[in-house]
C-alpha cells in the first residue's frame, strides 16, 4: 500500500498548496484557470478516446455503456445526491471540479494497474508516477476550486485500496481488451467534464459514472460463457 499512500498524500499536498494559491489569485485569473482546466480535461479525454478506439474489438460497446450507464445514473440520481453533499461544504462550484478530479485521478491505466503491480510484485513505479502527476493536477484544480478537491484523495484511496486487496483476481480480469474499452468510456466521461467546465454543455458527469461498470459486466459475462 506504499504506492497508494504516496498517491493519496500527493493529492492532499497538492490540494493544500493549490488552495493557498487560490487566495492570491484574482477573479480574472480564476476564469483563465477554469478555461485551462476545461481544455485540459477535454484534451485528456479526447486523447484517451483516440488512442484506444483503433484497438477496440467491440466498437459498439462504448455506445451501449454510455447509454445504459447514463440511464442508470439518472435513475439513481447520483449527481443530485453528490451535489447535496458538496453544497454542505459551502462551495457551490466544487461539485464540477470534484467530479472531474475523481475521474482524472481514478480512471487511468496507472491508477488501475498500479495497485496490482504493487500488491503482486511489490513494484510501486506506476503509483509513484501517478502520484507525481496527481500532485500537479490537484494543485491546479485546488487553485481553481479550493481545498475541497482534497476529498478526491479519499475516493482514490478507497478505489486503489480495493484493487490492491483484490489484486489476485483483478490481474486476470484486467485484460488489455478490457482496459481498452474502459479507457474509451472513461475518455468520454473526462471529455464531458471538460466540456461542462467550459460551459459548452452542462453534463451531469456523476450520473454518467455507471457507464464505467458496463464494460466490466460485459467482460465478466463473456468470461463465464466463453
Task: Print pLDDT tens along the chain (226 aa).
Answer: 889 999 999 999 999 998 888 877 777 777 887 788 888 888 888 988 999 999 999 989 999 999 999 999 999 988 888 878 777 766 666 787 888 888 889 887 778 878 888 888 888 988 998 898 899 889 888 888 888 899 999 999 999 998 888 877 766 667 888 888 988 998 898 898 889 888 888 888 889 889 989 998 998 888 777 6
Per-residue exposure over 49-88, b if at least 16 CB sit within 10 Å of its own CB, e if not: beebeeebebeebbeebbeebbebbeeeebbeebbeebee
pLDDT at 89: 65
pLDDT at 226: 66
**Measured in whole angstroms, how far is the alpha carbon of residue 199 from the centre of its chain?**
20
pLDDT at 92: 62
Rounded CA separation 128/109 (Å): 13
Q: What are the phi and psi torsion angles at 168 (to 5°)?
A: -60, -45
- The answer to pTM > 0.85 is no
Rounded CA separation 34/183 (Å): 24
Tell me how far apart the terminal alpha carbons of the chain are, to the nearest angstrom: 34
Q: C-alpha distances in angstroms, 14 versus 91, 138, 195?
A: 19, 5, 24
Q: C-alpha distances in angstroms, 139 versus 15, 16, 205?
A: 5, 7, 22
Helix ranges (DSSP H) in the chain: 2-22, 27-52, 61-76, 78-87, 94-106, 109-121, 125-145, 151-165, 167-173, 176-197, 205-208, 213-225
pLDDT at 165: 87
Rounded CA separation 147/138 (Å): 9
Specify burial of residue 133 (Cβ count, 10 A radius: 0-12, 13-18, 19+). Answer: middle
Unique residue bearing C-alpha cell 484506444? 52
Amino acid at each position: 500500500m506504499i504506492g497508494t499512500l504516496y498517491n493519496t498524500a500527493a493529492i492532499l499536498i497538492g490540494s493544500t498548496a493549490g488552495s493557498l494559491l487560490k487566495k492570491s489569485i484574482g477573479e480574472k485569473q480564476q476564469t483563465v484557470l477554469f478555461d485551462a482546466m476545461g481544455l485540459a480535461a477535454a484534451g485528456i479525454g479526447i486523447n484517451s478516446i483516440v488512442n484506444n478506439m483503433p484497438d477496440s474489438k467491440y466498437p459498439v460497446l462504448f455506445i451501449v455503456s454510455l447509454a445504459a450507464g447514463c440511464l442508470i445514473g439518472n435513475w439513481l440520481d447520483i449527481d443530485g445526491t453528490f451535489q447535496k453533499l458538496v453544497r454542505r461544504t459551502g462551495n457551490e462550484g466544487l461539485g464540477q471540479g470534484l467530479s472531474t478530479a475523481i475521474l482524472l485521478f481514478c480512471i487511468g491505466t496507472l491508477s488501475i494497474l498500479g495497485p496490482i503491480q504493487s500488491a503482486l510484485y511489490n513494484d510501486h513505479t506506476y503509483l509513484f508516477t501517478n502520484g507525481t502527476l496527481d500532485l500537479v493536477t490537484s494543485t491546479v484544480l485546488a487553485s481553481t476550486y479550493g481545498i475541497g478537491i482534497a476529498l478526491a484523495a479519499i475516493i482514490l484511496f478507497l478505489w486503489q485500496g480495493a484493487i490492491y486487496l483484490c489484486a489476485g483476481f483483478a490481474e486476470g480480469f484486467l485484460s488489455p481488451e478490457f482496459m481498452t474499452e474502459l479507457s474509451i468510456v472513461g475518455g468520454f466521461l473526462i471529455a464531458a467534464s471538460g466540456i461542462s467546465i467550459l460551459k459548452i454543455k452542462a453534463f451531469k458527469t456523476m450520473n454518467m459514472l455507471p457507464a464505467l461498470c458496463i464494460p466490466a459486466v460485459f467482460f465478466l459475462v463473456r468470461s463465464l460463457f466463453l
